[in-house]
């Protein structure tokens, strides 16, 4: 092994590993007792992977004589894994600040959608926008997420609803991967809404016969690298049968299933996801007890989105019931023109106050379990040897300040580090 390393963070008051035995996810008990080292240090190698993490004295003698490109004295500060955002819609043009006013005045999400606004408004603007325009706004949003501590983020298409615009959105995500350090897991979400003038059957046929084959071709040619497939399974959007057909077709192409379910109405989405071997189902505000049981049995994770329930004044996702049942609970910001939030610390705060999660549970949900929901928990989500060196240096003597304080996190997050590089 070479004797030069990329980064040495020494003498941190706390190093929060989250877990340290190679776990791919945590359920309630594991989430409640996170692995924390008091007075710890950590070393990242030139390959961007964690080489050692442990007691400060032990690491100091282990690495005596080694050289480091960067040394950070973290006295009085804390280290935690980089935050992972399990659900966002960050590629679009056409914000909906006017609609926020309508919703504050009492209009529901579906009333706005069915009046041809909501997602349809953003679709019209996104179809007209150039790749450059979309890339520029996407980069601003991703930089904002980075500053709030997100080091890996799931990003969806879904404001095209036809082949060309969906592919344009995915191509923009591909370009962002080349130009920013943040990790991106891409999701094809052509079934985000039924396009104006089409029936569900027509929209489903277009996805199965036109969009997915078009996507497959671009993936085979190496133009696009897409990880997940998503459908908005909801009353008045895609019903259970069309959802099943689209998700299965995506799975047959090698995509991971990660979809919107049981948000506004109980649709049996949770049972469907469990049956299809989905990696993740998001929202679940209206999940039934049977749905929770099916998810717990199948190891399909729940990506809960506290911002949606907050903004739309929906019932809170049943985090406690899911945790008690043994469901793998993750968190996401749901950043989109309806829920304009780029901050996972804010999401964790809402999860604690409104969904009654503990701070330890919220951090596990926003790290190792969010990594699991993206099929990346072998390499991301905890500070363990051989995992990617993605971490945050928190400028306080207890890591929980990141959740306890709400707003103004730029002051608290001293450094965001990806693959051992300060970004």
Q: Are strands 67-73 and 4-18 parallel, antiparallel or unpaired?
A: parallel
Which residue's Cβ has the minimum distance to ligand NIG? 338
Kindly state the number of chain residues that form the binding site for ligand NIG, as judged by CB under 6 A: 13
Taking 3-state DSSP, the helix, strand and coil percentages for the chain, each rounded to the nearest 5, stand at 40, 25, 35
Q: Which stretch binds ligand NIG (CB under 6 A): 13-21, 22-30, 117-125, 198-206?
A: 117-125
Q: Which stretch binds ligand NIG (CB under 6 A): 336-344, 346-354, 394-402, 405-413?
A: 336-344
Query: Which strand (E) or helix (H) includes residue 111?
Result: helix 109-114
Q: Give the list of residues 6+ apart from residue 65 with CB closer than 8 angstroms, or none.
A: 3
Cβ closest to ligand NIG, residue 166 vs residue 400? 166
Identify the residue among 256, 269, 338, 377 touching ligand NIG (CB under 6 A). 338
Identify the residue among 23, 206, 334, 400 touching ligand NIG (CB under 6 A). 334
CB of 96 vs ligand NIG, minimal distance in Å: 7
Q: Is 232 in the site for ligand NIG (CB under 6 A)?
A: yes
Identify the residue among 185, 243, 258, 336 touching ligand NIG (CB under 6 A). 336
Identify the residue among 10, 13, 51, 89 touching ligand NIG (CB under 6 A). 89
Q: Is 67 exposed, middle or buried (0-12, 13-18, 19+ CB in 10 A)?
A: exposed
Q: Give the list of residues 6+ apart from residue 197 with CB closer than 8 angstroms, or none.
A: none
Q: Is 168 in the site for ligand NIG (CB under 6 A)?
A: no
Q: Is 238 in the site for ligand NIG (CB under 6 A)?
A: no
CB of 328 vs ligand NIG, minimal distance in Å: 19
Considering only residues 249 to 278 of the shown chain, the ones binding ligand NIG according to CB under 6 A are: 260, 263
Rounded Cα distance, 91 and 130, in Å: 12
Identify the residue among 30, 337, 345, 420 touching ligand NIG (CB under 6 A). 337
CB of 164 vs ligand NIG, minimal distance in Å: 19
Q: Where are the beta strands (DSSP E) in 209-328?
A: 228-233, 256-261, 280-283, 301-304
Coil, strand or helix: which one is 229?
A: strand
Cβ closest to ligand NIG, residue 271 vs residue 308? 308
The DSSP annotation for 342-377 comes to: --HHHHHHHHHHHH---HHHHHHHTTHHHHHHTT-T
- What is the token pair recorded at 92? 């679009």
CB of 113 vs ligand NIG, minimal distance in Å: 7
CB of 119 vs ligand NIG, minimal distance in Å: 5
CB of 280 vs ligand NIG, minimal distance in Å: 13
The torsion of the CA quartet 298, 299, 303, 304, rounded to 10 degrees, works out to 80
CB of 307 vs ligand NIG, minimal distance in Å: 8
Whether 303 and 286 have beta carbons less than 8 Å apart is answered as no
Residues in contact with ligand NIG by CB under 6 A are: 89, 118-119, 122, 232, 260, 263, 308, 334, 336-339
């Amino acid at each position: 092994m070479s004797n030069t390393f990329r980064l040495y963070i020494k003498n941190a008051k706390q190093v929060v590993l989250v877990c340290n035995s190679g776990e791919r996810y945590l359920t309630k008990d594991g989430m409640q007792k996170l692995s924390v080292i008091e007075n710890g240090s950590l070393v990242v190698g030139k390959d961007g992977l964690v080489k050692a993490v442990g007691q400060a004295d032990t690491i100091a003698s282990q690495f005596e004589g080694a050289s480091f490109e960067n040394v950070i004295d973290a006295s009085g500060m804390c280290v935690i894994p980089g935050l992972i955002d399990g659900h966002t819609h960050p590629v679009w043009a056409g914000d909906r600040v006017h609609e926020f006013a309508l919703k504050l005045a009492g209009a529901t999400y579906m009333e706005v959608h069915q009046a041809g606004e909501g997602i349809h408004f953003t679709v019209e603007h996104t179809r007209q926008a150039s790749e450059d325009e979309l890339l520029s706004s996407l980069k601003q949003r991703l930089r904002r997420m980075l500053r709030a501590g997100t080091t890996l983020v799931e990003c969806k298409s879904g404001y095209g609803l036809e082949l060309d615009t969906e592919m344009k959105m995915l191509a923009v995500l591909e370009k962002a991967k080349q130009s920013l350090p943040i990790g991106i897991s891409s999701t094809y979400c052509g079934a985000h809404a039924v396009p104006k003038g089409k029936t569900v059957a027509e929209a489903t046929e277009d996805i199965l016969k036109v969009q997915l084959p078009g996507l497959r071709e671009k993936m085979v040619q190496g133009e696009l690298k897409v990880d997940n497939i998503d459908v908005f399974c909801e009353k008045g959007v895609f019903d259970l049968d069309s959802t099943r057909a689209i998700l299965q077709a995506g799975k047959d192409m090698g995509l991971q299933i990660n979809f919107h379910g049981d948000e506004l109405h109980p649709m049996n989405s949770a049972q469907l996801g469990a049956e299809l071997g989905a990696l993740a189902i998001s929202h679940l505000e209206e999940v039934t007890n049977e749905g929770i049981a099916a998810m717990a049995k199948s190891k399909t994770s729940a990506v809960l989105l506290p911002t949606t329930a907050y903004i739309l004044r929906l019932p809170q996702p049943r985090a406690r019931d899911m945790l008690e049942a043994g469901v793998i609970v993750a968190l996401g910001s749901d950043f989109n023109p309806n829920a304009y939030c780029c901050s996972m610390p804010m999401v964790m705060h809402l999860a604690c106050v409104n969904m009654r999660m503990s701070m330890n549970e919220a951090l596990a949900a926003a790290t190792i379990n969010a990594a699991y929901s993206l099929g990346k928990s072998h390499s991301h989500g905890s500070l363990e040897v051989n995992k990617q060196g993605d971490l945050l240096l928190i400028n306080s003597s207890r890591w929980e300040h990141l959740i306890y304080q709400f707003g103004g996190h730029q002051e608290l997050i001293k450094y965001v580090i990806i693959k051992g590089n300060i970004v």
